[in-house]
Structure 1
Amino acid sequence: MMTEATQHQIGLMQHALGINENRREPYRNYFLTSGGHSDNADLESLVAAGLMTSRAAPSFCADGDVVYHVTDAGREMVIAALPEPKKRTRYEEYLAADYGHSFAEWLGINVPKIEYGSWYPNDGKFRMVSHRAAGEWCNTQKEAKASYKKKLSASKEFREAV
């Protein structure tokens, strides 16, 4: 009985199980081939080694098709052959967190708030405000952002000068 398989054969069994380095839980266990498939020799050697089984394909498939299934021993081998999972990036952690806020807020960045003027003389105007700076009241959000950035830059220059 073969205890080692080539990388290609391991790849075939991983494909049959539907696993890869990002998806580590098998969700299927079959590999359907036709009679002249280029991987038949590798699949048959895996059957001989006890890492896969084979049977005739269901009747809705073409004559001569074969279905291969990975055995428990093969499953253990190919899962062990998967590379260690990569460390998640902070953005991937954010996506998995189901946090409900923006990425900047999840990182702890104090995002400026947009204020909407509803009283005279700022009725219908906008400004951006944070604990670091407050922009001027402007007619558009784009102008309000430019004003906020200008005030923020001036605030930063002032802090660095002190």
Structure 2
Amino acid sequence: MVEPLQARRFAQASGTQAKTDAVDARTLAAMGAALDLEPDMPADKNQHVLKQLQVALMALVKERIRLLNRMKTQNPALLKRQCKARLDQIKHQLAEVEEASLVLLRKSPKRVRAMDILCSIPGLGQVAAVAILVECPEIGTLGRKQAASLAYLAPTTRQSGQWSGRVKPVP
């Protein structure tokens, strides 16, 4: 990924003023060659389907919450019975969507490994691990240092201006 402003500044520095798709493509190619940029890996072919399943899962969860709240305030037995039937249907649909997501995730060895690591964290189940891998697909492809940096666990320098990490003694 290239920051749009950085790409525009590169184009201006190289004397390009026009802004068309063809010119942009040539400028980005020249920028990649000049700065020795590495292309990102293309998204997994199942990523779009996984995202759709995740959206459906979230919609079902919201529907379940809405129905549970509604059941608390309804008095007629008919409406309570209908809500209960719909809750049973949602429970079945949630299980189907979760299973479909797991089947797709298991098709990628890197994601299976990432899923196993995430599920080994106490309190983190398969559903949460799937959600993490769908929302942050790069999790399964990061190295140790990249993952530590992403989680803000890697050491970083905090030097700013004149400060160099040492506190001056008070006179």
* Interval containing the TM-score (normalised by the shorter chain): under 0.3
Structure number with larger C-alpha Rg: 1
Question: TM-score, normalised to structure 1's length?
Answer: 0.22
Q: When you count strand as a share of all residues, which structure comes out higher? A: 1
Q: When you count helix as a share of all residues, which structure comes out higher? A: 2
Larger RCO, structures 1/2 (Cα 8 Å, 6+ apart): 2
